Structure 1
Amino acid sequence: MVKLSVIVPFYNVQQYAPDTLRSLGANAREDFEFILVDDCSRDGTPEILARAERELPGAVLVRHERNGGLATARNTGIDRARGEYLTFLDGDDWLAPGYYPKLVAAIEELGCDFLRTDHVQCTARA
């Protein structure tokens, strides 16, 4: 059973996508899935995502025929999600290693339906 579905919309983020995908790899677990939604990117993002689908454990790539925007891309991901829990990450963001396992552990320890966390804005790359 899939414990966590991570929905990641991508649109023309060729410069940032490798860092995003590396951070997902540092958070991968057998029971996590990463739904990568390409919202009709016109740069090198589709090629980066195709490689990630082959190399990132738990990755599922979904491509839009037309750009629908962030909300549409997230909804596409929700429709494909199979996890007990659901979260979002933007295609130009990244996470610290082990972030998602800690997030799931906190949800289960607290016995709550959802968890809100703060973020830290970084000006450097991972």
Structure 2
Amino acid sequence: MIKTSFKEAITSNLDLTIVVPTYNLGHYLPETLKSIQQQTIDFELWLIDDASTDGTAQTVADFVKGIPNFHVTGFNHHRGIGAARNFGIDHATGQAVAFVDGDDLIAPTF
């Protein structure tokens, strides 16, 4: 008999969850989001805004609209990159988790 946890039973069939912590990324973020959107496989995305004050939170909220596997959350106060990454890990449903910083560009076959 194979036992699975409740989380495993409700997870999606996606192999990858990408976690992106964001904090005051300004003009860097749109290019990062564009490079993530160009991935050649289906994936889940978690964007975690760490209480940005420059419009980053609105940018990520607008980006995920209408995309079922794309999620965004925001912290009420600055908690740091570790807290943001841990939030992403705790909510990931993919078989693997990858971290991308909000000012990174990744190849379509990342």
Relative to the length of structure 2, the TM-score reads 0.82
Distance of 1:36 and 1:21 partners within structure 2:
10
Q: Corresponding residue for 2:27?
A: 15
Higher relative contact order (CA 8 A, sep 6+): 2
1:39 maps to a residue whose letter is: D
- Corresponding position of 1:112: none
Pick aligned residue for 1:93 from 72, 82, 104: 104
What residue in structure 1 maps to residue 70 of structure 2? 59
Identity in percent? 38
Matched, 1:70 2:71: no
- Cα offset for 1:62? 1.2
Q: What amino acid sits opposite 1:2 in the alignment? A: L
SS in 2 for 1:16: helix
What are the Cα deviations for residues 5-28 of structure 1, in whole angstroms up to 9, with x where unaligned? Answer: 110000000211101100011016
| SS of corresponding position for 2:31 | helix
Shift of 1:4: 0.3
Q: Which runs of 4+ in 1 moved over 2 A?
A: 55-58
Structure 1 residue 97, shift from structure 2 partner: 1.9
For the aligned residues, what is the CA RMSD? 1.5
Q: Tell me the TM-score normalized by structure 1.
A: 0.72
Tell me which amino acid in the other structure corresponds to 1:90: D
**Offset of residue 94 of structure 1:** 1.1
Task: Compute the displacement of 1:65 (Å).
Answer: 1.1
The AA in structure 1 aligned to 2:33 is: L
- Are the counterparts in 2 of residues 17 and 92 from structure 1 also a CA contact under 8 Å? yes
Is the Cα contact below 8 Å between 1:10 and 1:90 reproduced in 2?
yes
- 2: distance between equivalents of 1:78 and 1:14? 25
How many residues align structurally? 98
